[in-house]
Amino acid sequence: MQNSGDGHQEDGQGSSTQASDPDSIDAMPTKAFFVDMLIRDIPLERAVLDLVDNCIDGAKRLRDPEQRDFSGLWVKITMSENQFLIEDNCGGFDTDTAKNYAFRFGRPPGSSSTSYSIGQFGVGMKRALFKFGRKFVLASATADERWKVDEDVDAWEKTPHWSFAFKERETASNVPEEERGTSVSVEKLRPEVAVKFGSPYFQRSLSELIRIHQRQFISRGLEIRFNGDVLSATNLEMLTGNVVPAVETFTHKIEEEGVVYDVNVRLVAGVGSSNPSSAGWFVVCNGRVVLAADRTEATGWGLAIENAALMPRFHNQFARFRGVAYFECTNAKFLPWNTTKTGLDADTIVWRLALQKMIIMARSVIDFLNEVDREQSEQGNDGPLQRALTAASTAQAETITSSSSFRAPDASRYAGPRQVRISYSRPAEKVDHLMSAFSVNSAKAVGERSFDLAWQDEEDAK
C-alpha cells in the first residue's frame, strides 16, 4: 500500500503566482467564504439526495441504463446526531477520477461522463461534504484500485493550497466484486445538521423524499436502505382499460461542437385514485424525479397558451389527475432541470415544447374530471362514470408507452337508473327519533328510508 503523505500540490489556483508577480491582483476567495457560499442555498435534504444520485450514476456505469435493471445493487444510508454515512456496491471510481474530477468544483473540460447520468454539474458531493460537517472520509474500490481521502476541513481551510491528499492508495489485482463501491462518512457535524440528522421527524421526511425522487430506480431493483430499513418505491398508478391515458412522444435535437444529442420526451396524462396529495404533474429526468405532484404554474396550472384552452388552477375536484413528463438524454446537461435538481430550467427549448403539449393533454383530462364532478354533485358516488372508474384497471405510469389520445370510459356501459341526490335539513331531535324508529345509524339512512316509505305509500294509493 502506498501512503501518499501530505500530497498537496499547487494547482495554479493558490496565491503563490500572484505573490511573485507585482502586477497581479489576487482575486481568489478565501476557503471559508467559498465553503459557506457553496452550501448556503441547498437544503440539507437535497444534499443527501445528491449523494444518492452519485451512487445511482455508479450503478448506471455498471449496468446498461437502457436495460433498466439494477437488481443486486444497493445503497445504505445511516445517520445520527454524530455521523452521516452513505455506502454503495456500485463499482466505485478510480484514483484518476478522484484526482481530476470528483473533488473539483465543477466539471472540467474533457472529463468523462456517464450516459444518462443524474449527477452532472460537478458540485453535489463537495457541497454535501461541506454542508454536513468539518471532517470527512471518502473511500472507494474498483476492480483494480483502492483509495481513501481523510480530511479535516478546519485544518484544510488554514492551508494556502486548494488540493486534497490521498490518505491511502493501493493498486490491487482483482478486488472482489462484493468489495467494489464507495463510502462517504462525515463527522464533526455542524450543530444545525446534528440536530436534524438526529431527529426522527427529519429522518422520516428524508426517507419519504428518497422514495419519491428515486422511485424509478427502486422499482428497477436498486435496494436503498435508510437506517436499516429497506425503502419501497412510491406508487404512481394510472387507471387503464376502460380509461385510456394520453401518451405523446417527441425528440428534440441539440447540437454542440458538431455532436447531435437527442432529448427524448414522453408525456403521459390520465387519471388515478382520488388523492389530492398525489395529483399533479411529475417531471422525471434520466429516471430522477425532479418535480413530484406539482400543481403550480410551473407545469401549466392556471396558464393558457396560444390556441389552447385555459388550464384552471388546481382544485380538489382534480384529485384524480396524474401526469408524467419523462426526459432522457445521454448528456444530462441538456435536460430541463436546475443545478440542485429541485426544479426546472423553464427557459430551455425542450421544456417549452413539452409544456405546450402538457397543457393540451391535461385539458382533455380536466374536461373529463369536470364531468365526473358534475355527476357526483347530482348522483353521488353511484353514477355511471364513478362506476366506470371503480371498474378500471391500473398500471404504473412508466409502463404506459403506446401513443394515444385520452379516452374517457363509455358511461353508457355502466348506466343504470338515473340517480338524483336529495339534500335537506330537519331538527336534530326529530332525526334522532326516526333513526331509533327505523333502526338505522345515520341521517342519510333516515332520509333514504323516509323516501322509500313515501314512495311505497304513493304506489299503494294507485
Q: What is the pLDDT of residues 371-410, one digit of tens each?
A: 999 998 888 777 899 989 998 999 999 999 999 999 999 8
- Between 17-21, 165-169, 359-363, 380-384, the lowest mean confidence (pLDDT) is in 17-21
Domain ranges of the chain: 27-230, 237-414, 428-461
Contact 238, 400 (CB under 8 A): yes
User: What nine digits make up the cell of 120?
Assistant: 452532472
| pLDDT the model gives residue 317 | 93
Percentage of the chain lying above the pLDDT 90 cut: 55
| pLDDT the model gives residue 111 | 58
Q: Which of 51, 328, 430 is nearest to 336 (CA)?
A: 328
| pLDDT the model gives residue 363 | 93
Amino acid code (one letter) for 453: L
* 27-230 belongs to CATH 3.30.565.10: yes
- Whether residue 429 has pLDDT greater than 80: yes
At residue 106 the predicted structure's pLDDT band, cuts being 50, 70 and 90, is: low
Residue that wins the pLDDT comparison between 263 and 176: 263
Integer Cα distance of 282 and 325 in angstroms: 6
Q: In what order do the strands lie in the sheet with 181-189?
A: 166-171, 145-152, 133-141, 181-189, 84-88, 74-79, 223-226, 229-230
- Whether residue 248 has pLDDT greater than 50: yes
Kind and range of the H or E element at 199? none
- Between 79-88, 202-211, 332-341, 353-362, the lowest mean confidence (pLDDT) is in 332-341
| pLDDT the model gives residue 189 | 96
Could you report the per-residue pLDDT of 146-157, keeping only the tens digit for each? 999 999 988 988
* pTM across the whole model: 0.81
| pLDDT the model gives residue 20 | 58
- Between 49-58, 121-130, 285-294, the lowest mean confidence (pLDDT) is in 121-130
CATH hierarchy code of domain 237-414 = 3.30.230
Could you report the per-residue pLDDT of 332-384, keeping only the tens digit for each? 889 999 877 888 999 999 999 999 999 999 999 999 999 999 998 888 777 89
Residue that wins the pLDDT comparison between 110 and 247: 247
User: What nine digits make up the cell of 424?
Assistant: 335537506
| pLDDT the model gives residue 353 | 96
| pLDDT the model gives residue 437 | 87
- Between 8-12, 44-48, 359-363, the lowest mean confidence (pLDDT) is in 8-12
Scored b (16 or more CB within 10 A) or e, 341-358 reads bbbbeeebebbeebbebb
| pLDDT the model gives residue 146 | 92
What average pLDDT score do residues 288-305 get?
Answer: 91
Percentage of the chain lying above the pLDDT 70 cut: 89
| pLDDT the model gives residue 5 | 44
Residue that wins the pLDDT comparison between 274 and 34: 274
Share the mean pLDDT of the chain: 87
Q: Which of 199, 198, 183, 213 is nearest to 89 (CA)?
A: 183
| pLDDT the model gives residue 165 | 85
